[in-house]
Amino acid sequence: MRRLAVVLLVVLAAHPALAQGFLTPEGPVAAAQREHLIRVTMVTMIAVLPVLIGVPLILWRYRRGGRGAYRPGFDFSAPLEIAMWGVPAAIIVLLGTWLWQSTEALDPYEPLGTDPLQVQVIGLNWKWLFLYPDQGIASIGTLAIPAGRPVRLQLTTDTVMQSFMVPALAGQIYAMPGMVSDLNLMASRVGTLTGANTQFNGTGFAGQQVDVQVMTPDDWTAWVQGGTTAPSLDAARYARLGVAGTTAQALQALSLPDSRMHLTAPGLFASVVARYHDGAPLADRDQPGAPGFQPESTP
Amino acid sequence: MTANLHPGLNLGESHGAAHPASENRVFGFWVFLMSDLITFGILFATYAASGTPMGLAGGPGPAQLFDLTSVALQTAFLLASSLTCGMASLSMKAHAGAGRIALWLLVTALLGGGFLMLELSDFASMLAQGAGPARSGWLSGFFALVGLHGLHITAGLLWIGVLLGLLAVQGLSDRVKTRLLLFALYWHFLDLVWIGIFSIVFLRGLA
Amino acid sequence: MSGLFGHLDWTVTPFAAAIADPGTNTFVAAGAAGLVVLGAVALLGFLTWFRLWGPLWRDWLTSADHKKIGVMYCVIGIVMLARGVAEGAVMRAHQAMALNGGPLSAEHFAELFSTHGTIMILFVAAPLVIGLINIVVPLQIGARDMAFPVMNQVSLGLTAAGAALLMISLVIGRFETGGWSAYPPYTGRVFSPGEGPDYWIWSVVPAGIGSMLSGINFAVTIYKCRAPGMTYMRMPLFTWTALCAAIMLVYAMPPVTVSSLMLALDRYAGFHFFTNDLGGNMMNYANIFWMFGHPEVYILVLPAYGVWSEVSATFSAKTLYGYPSLVIATMAIAVIAFTVWLHHFFTMGQSASVNIAFGIATMIIAVPTGVKVYDWMATLWRGRIRMTVPMVYLTGFFILFVIGGLTGVILANPTIDYQVHNTLFLVAHFHNVLIPGVLFAMLAGIHYWFPKVFGFRLHETWGKRAAWLWIVGFCVTFLPLYALGLMGMPRRSSSFADPAFVPLQLVAGAGAVIILLALAATLVCYGVSIRQRGTLAVPFGDPWDGRTLEWAMPAPAPEWNFAVIPAVAARDAFWAEKTGGDPYVAPERYEDIELPRPTALGLVICVATTAAGFALTWHIWWLALSGLVGIGLAVMVRAFATQTTRVLPAAEVAVHHGRWLEAVHTARGITRDAEDSPANRGLAAPDTEVTP
């Protein structure tokens, strides 16, 4: 127990960092997840505490030379058996019910409200590309969303498998080539958060972070407006993004002033998904993220 | 009760010490076959899961590739070889002598070899049509599953070679008897797996 | 580039890299490679200098004795443990300095976490568990050997081949970088064209086949080779857990063999199982791999539970509480373990109902596991507890394992898993179950059964120092990782940008130093014990006042185990004899004993497999073919062997056993007060504390 307390103290001491974790949630999903974590922990303690408290007591009381009664043949007790099987089973029934409810309630595929903001996410080595098809803009490494509005992310990758997570808003979901997964989230407050890829995908993995800007609706509209006048995300620029490298390297290679680009091809996301289903082999030089990728060869 | 120490063909009282001595080995081999069945099971599942438009990847499918005549012939060869393998076991049980057993084993090997030849020629014609394992996920699953069965048959043929050598060198010793029992189990097992392949891969593919 | 030596040349060694590009990173790699080379040279020199080649060949490498094979498994486990711990310490040191960088390159770091995981699961935990089962099970059930002694040797050879390839990868070329689970498409040819994933594949495949064969061997041994009267419900709990683990090995090993070979087909032959294009599907890999991966965890932890059952009863001088409950719980875990694999990827985007089903199945495992923990507590309750080394480990296990259980229940919730999956929370959790759960049990088990194999006890004081260092080291290293995971730090990160991670990373780094000390203390304990083997000797064979059959014979146990196969009449067979009469009675007559003859088959297969694996990794086709043909030929030639056993005459057994009985009868037993003194020669006297 003391060890646990020490750990808790250390955690509290490091508090500023919690701003990025789901223990200090910035949105309803993460808040519900934290709530669930606390509930589960508390209830499970019913099964855990007897061990943490009982073991030291037993070790002391029944030590050799100690005063506890010695019953070498004691090997069965019906009430004890019932408690040993019954209490954990009851806990699991309760936790199982909660698990069922929470998993359905927090299904990442479930929208968090009407009229969610649609964002398409493409995982690349080692950066995330966000497409706003309705607004006609794209953004590399920065996800800007208005506070208070539900957001629906649709994810895929144009390289290996990745996992997208913004801990303070919602949990993660895998993004896989040729497939689309969904993640619904919402931010309650204005602020700057960090997101990441949590699925190892090469040497640049640790740097594949996302700058999540939660803005007021007005600021966000202005941000979107600025994007429509940025350089456009044409095929050649998209191909250049496929070269393995960090967000900063990509911005530099495309000589972009900030993360925004103008999205002229609304079907980009669909075409990225479809490229793995066209029935033709994909040469190494056409595979973004691969060591043999040659962006200039892409049509 | 030494008569039913393990499932499968029992040599029973007539073979005295050979019978109890083979118990552990036969039982262990059954356990191995269960494990091998998991291996086949995973490949069956992989094959079944890849029979989708995504798995076919625009490549040729069952209708274009499977030659049911050849498959029927292969099935006939394999079933017949199971019969002849059974005859080898019965010859042993009936004390018909090493020569008779060897003869039946040889016939089994010929039938197994014929199966393999037909299978390889099917593979070759698929490859010639550009339908090799590298064409699609579905074809990868097909070649892995059917190919693994073929590899097992090949191993079985080598095993028959060893058994024939053992019969020639050591005669019908207790150890050789046990090995014959194990081989029979193995061969019938491959037959069963083939029936699975025949039904799930070929019949369902063409249905 | 594929001539006689395939893709091999001088530049693939880390030494060449260190010369071309000197720096911390390359020096660490070259240093590790140098250690392997120096270690190998030192070992060869040692063997030559002390003229040990003959004994090594005769008594060990060609032996089919289950105890020696078990010891060799454990030696592999300990050697690989040293490497795994060193790698873990290097990683912790790196991460402690990894704010915006760190001393190692990202690729080197990735190799480290990949080899560390592969080694710790497949070449530390598995060999230790399989080794301990090998040593103990035949002794506990009254058998002379495993059902298939030579196949046992082959299993060992295959595992050793995998371990050898992992060691070679340190010196020649680079290892895989996608973690121990090697998820494609990252590990496919397109994204990892080098030799790394091939090293991984050809290490894992032989180890998987070897473990599967071990499973068959254990299962048949326990089903068919029990002494008369050793009914299922009289089997010691360790044997029960071994049986369940064996059945699981038989069914859980094929998936990893198959998934690795499918990955190999993708890489070598252009198949499309897990590729991005042409119908490959990486989700299949995750499913197949974890159909092995999850049961594997229980294969490791069930025998560990078995150790705790033996240790808790023996050192509290009491009957095991709740034997039927423990058996039922063991079987329940073995079955349910096959139904939960999907919880390793709740976040793959499947529907909520699938996640709910697997989440609840996962939680259900907590019930039998909890029952087991309570049963051991009830075993200690009303006992007379002696705080020996295994009991120190058990104490650490109790306190820490329930924390691992708690976080396991937390992770079983898809809702929370979305947040902590792939973070350091997950890393902390599986270390929390594998270190206190498996490693502590194996170290405790080695301490407990060591005297039975070698004839002398391990040093108690050094053993306790090591045990406490392991416990403290674990806490300091891994409990902070829980917090870091909750703060959102992804696993496998070679650097991080948030300075708030630094304090806890420094704590964890300090913990790694304690773990290094724990490893050192463990090795010192073994060394000191060997030096003091005279005073620690327990020739009468029962140093702990044991309860089960293995303590009813001399230490070291003779090659034939039992002079006569015992007739078992009770659950704690030896204890029943001790309390009900004289356990040291000469049998009416002795019989000839048939023992397996030594053979080099296992060694030949080991060498051929290592060669084939290495050759496949480097595309040296002639060598690969030779290796594979060699394996086939060795098996076929072996089929023609007729003299596979030798007979030990009854007279010889009678002399050996009679001499021991005579010594026992003239010796004076000790009470448990003298357990840790030179007076403990392995003969237990009825204890005043114990006899009511």
Q: In whole angstroms, what is the distance from residue C369 CA to residue C398 CA?
A: 12
Mean pLDDT across chain A, nearest whole number? 93
Q: Which of A289, A265, A240, A244 is nearest to A138 (CA)?
A: A265
C505 in contact with B, Cβ within 8 Å: no
Rounded average pLDDT over B188-201: 97
Closest A-chain CA to B136: A279
B57 in contact with A, Cβ within 8 Å: yes
The rounded radius of gyration (Å) of the Cα atoms in chain B is: 19
Contact state of A277 with B59 under an 8 Å Cβ cutoff: no
B3 in contact with C, Cβ within 8 Å: no
Q: Which of B192, B177, B1 is nearest to B89 (CA)?
A: B177
What pLDDT digit, counting tens, does each position of B59-70 carry?
999 999 999 999
Nearest to C110 among A4, A33, A200 (CB): A200
Q: What order do you get walking across the sheet with A260-262 strand by strand? A: A181-185, A151-157, A117-124, A127-132, A137-140, A260-262
Chains interfacing with A (3 or more CB pairs < 8 Å): B, C
Structure tokens at B207: 């249905």
Alpha helices (H) in C172-322, listed in sequence order: 196-224, 237-269, 282-315
Distance of residue C427 Cα from the nearest chain A Cα, in angstroms: 13
B206 in contact with C, Cβ within 8 Å: no
Rounded average pLDDT over C392-414: 97
Interface subset of A 77-96, CB within 8 angstroms of C: 77, 80-81, 84-85, 88-89, 92, 95-96
Is the model's pLDDT at B17 over the cut of 80? no
The pairing of strands A142-146 and A209-215 is: parallel
Instruction: Find where tokens 């499977």 sit.
Output: B66
H or E stretch including B90? helix B68-93
Count other C-beta atoms under 10 Å from residue C461's C-beta: 11
Displacement of CA C72 from its chain's centroid (Å) = 12
SS3 A193: strand
Displacement of CA A167 from its chain's centroid (Å) = 6
Rounded average pLDDT over C64-70: 97
What pLDDT digit, counting tens, does each position of C106-135 carry?
999 999 999 999 999 999 999 999 999 999
Burial class (CB in 10 A: 0-12, 13-18, 19+), A140: buried
Q: In whole angstroms, what is the distance from residue B94 CA to residue B83 CA?
A: 16
pLDDT confidence of C9, banded at 50, 70, 90? confident
Is the model's pLDDT at C14 over the cut of 90? no
pTM: 0.96
Give the model's pLDDT for residue A7. Answer: 57
SS3 A182: strand
H or E stretch including A175? strand A170-175
Residues of chain B neighbouring A279 (CB-CB closer than 8 A): 57-59
What pLDDT digit, counting tens, does each position of B102-146 carry?
999 999 999 999 999 999 999 999 999 999 999 999 999 999 999
The pairing of strands A142-146 and A151-157 is: unpaired
Going C89 to C90 to C93 to C95, the CA torsion angle's sign is: negative
CA dihedral C659, C665, C668, C671 (to 10 degrees): 100
Give strand pairing partners of C469: none
Give strand pairing partners of A162: A175
Task: Domain ranges for chain C, please list them.
Answer: 52-599+644-674
One DSSP character per residue, C423-471 reads BHHHHHHHHHHIIIIIIHHHHHHHHHHHHHHHSBPPPHHHHHHHHHHHH
For residues C212 and C254, the answer to whether their CB atoms sit within 8 Å is yes
Is the model's pLDDT at C692 over the cut of 70? no
Q: In whole angstroms, what is the distance from residue C502 CA to residue C508 CA?
A: 10
End-to-end CA distance of chain A: 62
What pLDDT digit, counting tens, does each position of A224-262 carry?
999 999 999 999 999 999 999 999 999 999 999 999 999
* Best of C112, C191, C358, C676 to mutate (most A CBs within 10 Å, chain A): C191
Structure tokens at C427: 């890393």
Give the model's pLDDT for residue B169. Answer: 96
The larger pLDDT score, comparing residue C219 to residue B95, is at: C219
CA distances from A75 to A81, C383, C578 (A): 11, 11, 19
Task: Domain ranges for chain A, please list them.
Answer: 15-64+72-105, 117-277
End-to-end CA distance of chain C: 79
Burial class (CB in 10 A: 0-12, 13-18, 19+), B24: buried
Kindly report whether the peptide bond that precedes residue C290 is cis, defined as omega within 30 degrees of 0.
no
C4 in contact with B, Cβ within 8 Å: no
Structure tokens at A43: 């209830």
Which amino acid type is present at position C49? W
For residues C262 and C601, the answer to whether their CB atoms sit within 8 Å is no
Rounded average pLDDT over C308-326: 97
Contact state of B50 with C277 under an 8 Å Cβ cutoff: no
Distance of residue C70 Cα from the nearest chain B Cα, in angstroms: 20
Q: Into how many domains does chain B fold?
A: 1
For residues B154 and B185, the answer to whether their CB atoms sit within 8 Å is no
End-to-end CA distance of chain B: 49
What pLDDT digit, counting tens, does each position of A71-126 carry?
999 999 999 999 999 999 999 999 999 999 999 999 999 999 999 999 999 999 99
Q: At a CB cut-off of 8 Å and minimum separation 6, what does C611 contact?
A: C623, C626, C627, C630
Q: In whole angstroms, what is the distance from residue C328 CA to residue A295 CA?
A: 60
Domain limits for position B146: 82-207
The reply to whether CATH 1.20.210.10 applies to domain C52-599+644-674 is yes
CA distances from A150 to A117, A146, A244, B84, C416 (A): 6, 9, 32, 71, 21
Residues of chain A neighbouring B134 (CB-CB closer than 8 A): 281
CA distances from C164 to C32, C36, C170, C261, C356 (A): 15, 11, 10, 19, 42
Burial class (CB in 10 A: 0-12, 13-18, 19+), A6: middle
Q: At a CB cut-off of 8 Å and minimum separation 6, what does C227 contact?
A: C141, C142, C143, C549, C562, C565, C566, C567, C568
Mean pLDDT across chain C, nearest whole number? 95
Give strand pairing partners of A121: A130, A155
Give the model's pLDDT for residue C691. Answer: 47
The larger pLDDT score, comparing residue C92 to residue C691, is at: C92
What pLDDT digit, counting tens, does each position of C133-154 carry?
999 999 999 999 999 999 999 9
Please check whether residue B86 lies inside any domain of the structure.
yes
Is the model's pLDDT at C640 over the cut of 80? yes
What pLDDT digit, counting tens, does each position of C427-468 carry?
999 999 999 999 999 999 999 999 999 999 999 999 999 999
Is the model's pLDDT at C529 over the cut of 50? yes
Rounded average pLDDT over C76-92: 97
Interface subset of A 97-126, CB within 8 angstroms of C: 98-100, 102-104, 106-109
Burial class (CB in 10 A: 0-12, 13-18, 19+), A252: exposed
pLDDT confidence of A8, banded at 50, 70, 90? low
Q: In whole angstroms, what is the distance from residue A107 CA to residue C363 CA?
A: 19
Give the model's pLDDT for residue A11. Answer: 54
CATH class name, domain A117-277: mainly beta
One DSSP character per residue, C218-231 reads HHHHHHH-PPTT--
SS3 C346: helix
Rounded average pLDDT over C294-323: 97
Q: In whole angstroms, what is the distance from residue C290 CA to residue A203 CA?
A: 25
pLDDT-above-70 percentage for chain C: 99
Is the model's pLDDT at A18 over the cut of 50? no
Of C1-15, C384-398, C616-630, least confident by mean pLDDT is: C1-15
Give the model's pLDDT for residue B7. Answer: 66
**Phi and psi of C225, rounded to 5°?**
-110, 20
Is the model's pLDDT at C12 over the cut of 90? no
Give the model's pLDDT for residue C136. Answer: 98
